[in-house]
């Protein structure tokens, strides 16, 4: 009997394996020009693989191409892929990467323009938000990648908190101005202080003042949260001689404010990555949060959100300088797709890149609430379908479109990831009160000097020179005096 059962289990197992490995029905040969071709792609998370599955069927129907997608865990992604590339090869045809790491990856990618001409590809560059087109897609002046995930920070708030008459009255009495979604960092900090520790939603719950992600992991959450303040107070990463400016007056003011307002954030904020504060926002536990735009899709998802139709969306706060508002939200850091120059299937891979970047295909990816891929085409922001996807979606997309012209990119130079992680670590040291803000930023600046020296100062300076000029062209310059002027 036991033997029979074992044989039965073995047969079921074999049947399951056979069923899983059985090829699908033979595709009809027809107008699929690349029938039988499989493209190998590499991405850094399961949800990115899932996002590609949303266009796989159409891709096959149109071109006859299948995708075989490898997922490398986020923290191992950059070392593993660069190890392969720097070894002079790559098992992948289509490569996802963080645009801020372009200086490390760019030379391994096939330039797109020549292939676009040859194959008559249309990447519809005019439909791409300017900041991506100008700053994020090129290597040595050549177009080598297309955006895939338009990561920027926008602000989200719970309208209940800001519109309750009782809250408005109390706020006015305490701060002498009207309660409204914050436009400046001062207003943000006041609101966080005001809301913290009581039931601003009319319940007896002890709720929190604001949400944030301050863990220094990944590409450095606390760094991403700090730099919107830093840049709106006139900050810049380096001067023209590659001297770090991350311990100057704008940097110090930004970090001191963050340290001072730490008590108004949820306990555990120092360990929060991206999803924890988003969950707190959609569960109605924090009244406001600035975070990735994908948060909006969770806000509008009635399966988990209690603030569907009650959420506001806007640009991340900034600073008032001489009567003029300066907003500097962060690109954080985004995803792009490129074709490996070592690929033996460059032509079909170019076709795939064009296909997944098409407005209607990429829209499917950025609209799906299960991906955390964010819109990046102008047509995404204006898509009627997307604007009706959930209550408030139009307001959400308008906020993203307003944000794009204001954003500040990462320091897009070789070793960007390393610079960011060192800075993020020191910022979190200050937030945890293990170091003073000044000591933490001085330590980060010293670490940045070491990285620059190790990577060859002249080469880094040359790379940074290009980026400095690009940033200047979009109006981002160093203004240390703003640190004292900013309101």
Partner 1 sequence: MSTLVSATPAVVVRSARRYRWRRRLAAGLTYLGLAGALVFFLGPFFWIVTTSLKGDSDFFAFPPVWIPSHPSLAHYVGLFTRASGLRYFLNSLTISSMSMVAALVVSLPTAYAIARWRFGGGLLGTFLLVLRMLPAIALIIPVYLMYKQLGLTNSYLGLVMLYTVVYIPFAVWLLVGFLRDFPVEIEEAAMIDGCSRVGALLRVVVPIIAPGLAVVALFSFIATWNEFLFAVVLTGIETKTMMVLVTTYTSGGTDMFYGEASASVVLGVLPAFVVAFLLQRYLVKGLALGGTKG
Size of the site for partner 1 (CB under 8 A): 38
Integer distance in angstroms from the first to the last C-alpha of the chain?
A: 81
Q: Which of residues 263-282 bind partner 1 (CB under 8 A)?
A: 273-275, 279, 282
Counting Cα atoms < 13 Å in the Cβ hemisphere of 288 gives 29
Residue 45 or 249 with smaller CB distance to partner 1: 45
Q: 149 by DSSP, 3-state: which?
A: strand
Closest distance to partner 1 from the beta carbon of 299 (Å): 13
Taking contact as CB under 8 A, which single stretch among the options 100-108, 249-257, 367-375, 412-420 is the one that binds partner 1?
Answer: 367-375
Residue 331 has φ and ψ, to the nearest 5°, of -85, 130
Q: What is the dihedral of CA 117, 120, 126, 131, to 10 degrees?
A: -60
* Site string (391-420) toward partner 1, x via CB under 8 A: ------------------------------
Closest distance to partner 1 from the beta carbon of 24 (Å): 12
Closest distance to partner 1 from the beta carbon of 393 (Å): 17
Q: 37 by DSSP, 3-state: which?
A: strand
Instruction: Please give the Cα distance from 298 to 310 (Å, whole number).
Output: 13
Q: Which of residues 114-153 bind partner 1 (CB under 8 A)?
A: none
Q: What is the dihedral of CA 394, 400, 404, 408, to 10 degrees?
A: 170
**Which of 2, 57, 303, 344: binder of partner 1 (CB under 8 A)?**
303
Decide if residue 369 touches partner 1 (CB under 8 A).
yes
Decide if residue 443 touches partner 1 (CB under 8 A).
no
Residue 69 or 191 with smaller CB distance to partner 1: 69
Residue 236 or 343 with smaller CB distance to partner 1: 343
Alpha carbon 87 to its chain's center: 29
Contacts of 44 (CB under 8 A, 6+ apart): 71, 72, 73, 74, 77, 96, 335
Taking contact as CB under 8 A, which single stretch among the options 22-30, 64-72, 237-245, 462-470 is the one that binds partner 1?
Answer: 64-72
CB burial class (10 A; 0-12, 13-18, 19+) of residue 422? Answer: buried
Decide if residue 23 touches partner 1 (CB under 8 A).
no
> With b meaning 16 or more CB within 10 Å and e meaning fewer, what string describes 443-476?
bbbebbeebbeebeeeebbebbeebbeebeebeb
Instruction: Please give the Cα distance from 392 to 306 (Å, whole number).
Output: 14
* Site string (216-255) toward partner 1, x via CB under 8 A: --x-------------------------------------
**Which of 9, 46, 271, 454: binder of partner 1 (CB under 8 A)?**
46
Q: Give residue for tokens 């536990």.
A: 285
Decide if residue 80 touches partner 1 (CB under 8 A).
yes
**Which of 167, 236, 349, 371: binder of partner 1 (CB under 8 A)?**
371
Closest distance to partner 1 from the beta carbon of 70 (Å): 4
Length of the chain: 487
Decide if residue 71 touches partner 1 (CB under 8 A).
yes
Closest distance to partner 1 from the beta carbon of 17 (Å): 7
Taking contact as CB under 8 A, which single stretch among the options 76-84, 235-243, 334-342, 436-444 is the one that binds partner 1?
Answer: 76-84
Decide if residue 58 touches partner 1 (CB under 8 A).
no
Decide if residue 10 touches partner 1 (CB under 8 A).
no
Closest distance to partner 1 from the beta carbon of 275 (Å): 5
Residue 100 or 247 with smaller CB distance to partner 1: 100
**Which of 54, 63, 72, 400: binder of partner 1 (CB under 8 A)?**
72
Instruction: Please give the Cα distance from 83 to 88 (Å, whole number).
Output: 9
Query: How many C-beta atoms surround the C-beta of residue 120 within 10 A?
Result: 8
Q: Dihedral sign, CA of 260, 265, 271, 275?
A: negative
Query: How many C-beta atoms surround the C-beta of residue 178 within 10 A?
Result: 9
Query: How many C-beta atoms surround the C-beta of residue 359 within 10 A?
Result: 13
Q: Which residues bind partner 1 (CB under 8 A)?
A: 16-17, 20, 40, 44-47, 49-50, 53, 68-76, 80, 83, 87, 91, 218, 273-275, 279, 282-283, 294, 303-304, 369-372
């Amino acid at each position: 009997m036991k033997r029979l059962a074992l044989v039965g289990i073995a047969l079921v197992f074999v049947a399951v394996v056979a069923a899983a490995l059985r090829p699908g029905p033979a595709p009809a040969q027809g107008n699929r020009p690349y029938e039988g071709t499989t493209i190998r792609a590499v991405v850094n998370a399961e949800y990115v693989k899932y996002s590609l599955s949303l266009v796989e069927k159409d891709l096959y129907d149109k071109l006859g191409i299948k995708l075989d997608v490898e997922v490398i865990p986020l923290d191992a992604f950059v070392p593993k892929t660069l190890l392969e590339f720097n070894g002079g090869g790559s098992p992948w045809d289509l490569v996802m990467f963080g645009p801020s790491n372009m200086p490390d990856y760019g030379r391994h990618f096939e330039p797109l323009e020549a292939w676009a001409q040859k194959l008559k590809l249309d990447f519809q560059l005019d439909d791409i938000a300017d900041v991506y087109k100008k700053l994020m897609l090129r290597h040595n002046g050549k177009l080598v990648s297309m955006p895939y995930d338009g990561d920027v920070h926008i602000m989200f708030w719970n309208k209940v908190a800001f519109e309750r008459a009782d809250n408005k009255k109390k706020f006015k009495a305490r701060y002498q101005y009207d309660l409204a979604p914050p436009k400046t960092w001062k207003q943000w900090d006041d609101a966080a202080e005001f809301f913290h520790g009581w039931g601003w939603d009319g319940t007896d719950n002890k709720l929190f003042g604001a949400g944030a992600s301050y863990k220094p992991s990944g590409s450095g959450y606390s760094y991403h949260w700090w730099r919107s303040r830093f840049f709106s107070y006139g900050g810049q990463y380096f001067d023209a001689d590659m001297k770090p400016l991350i311990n100057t007056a704008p940097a110090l003011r930004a970090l001191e404010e963050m340290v001072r307002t730490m008590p108004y954030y949820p306990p555990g904020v120092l360990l929060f990555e991206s999803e924890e504060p988003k969950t707190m926002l959609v569960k109605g536990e924090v009244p406001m949060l600035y975070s990735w735009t994908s948060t909006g899709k969770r806000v509008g998802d009635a399966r988990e959100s209690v603030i569907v139709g009650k959420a506001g969306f806007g640009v991340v706060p900034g600073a008032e300088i001489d009567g003029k508002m300066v907003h500097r939200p962060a690109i954080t850091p985004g995803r792009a797709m490129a074709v490996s120059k070592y690929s033996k299937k460059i032509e079909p891979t170019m076709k795939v890149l064009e296909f997944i970047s098409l407005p209607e295909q990429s829209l499917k990816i950025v609209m799906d609430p299960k991906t955390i891929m964010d819109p990046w085409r102008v047509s995404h922001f204006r898509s009627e379908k997307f604007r009706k996807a959930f209550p408030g979606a139009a307001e959400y997309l308008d906020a993203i479109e307003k944000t794009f012209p204001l954003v500040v990119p990462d320091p897009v130079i070789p070793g960007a990831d390393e610079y960011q992680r060192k800075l993020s670590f020191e910022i979190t040291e200050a937030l945890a009160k293990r170091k003073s803000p000044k000591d933490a930023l001085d330590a980060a600046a010293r670490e940045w000097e070491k990285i620059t020296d190790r990577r060859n100062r002249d080469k880094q300076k040359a790379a940074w020179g290009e980026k400095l000029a690009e940033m200047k062209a979009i109006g981002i310059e160093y203004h240390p005096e703003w640190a004292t002027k900013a309101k």
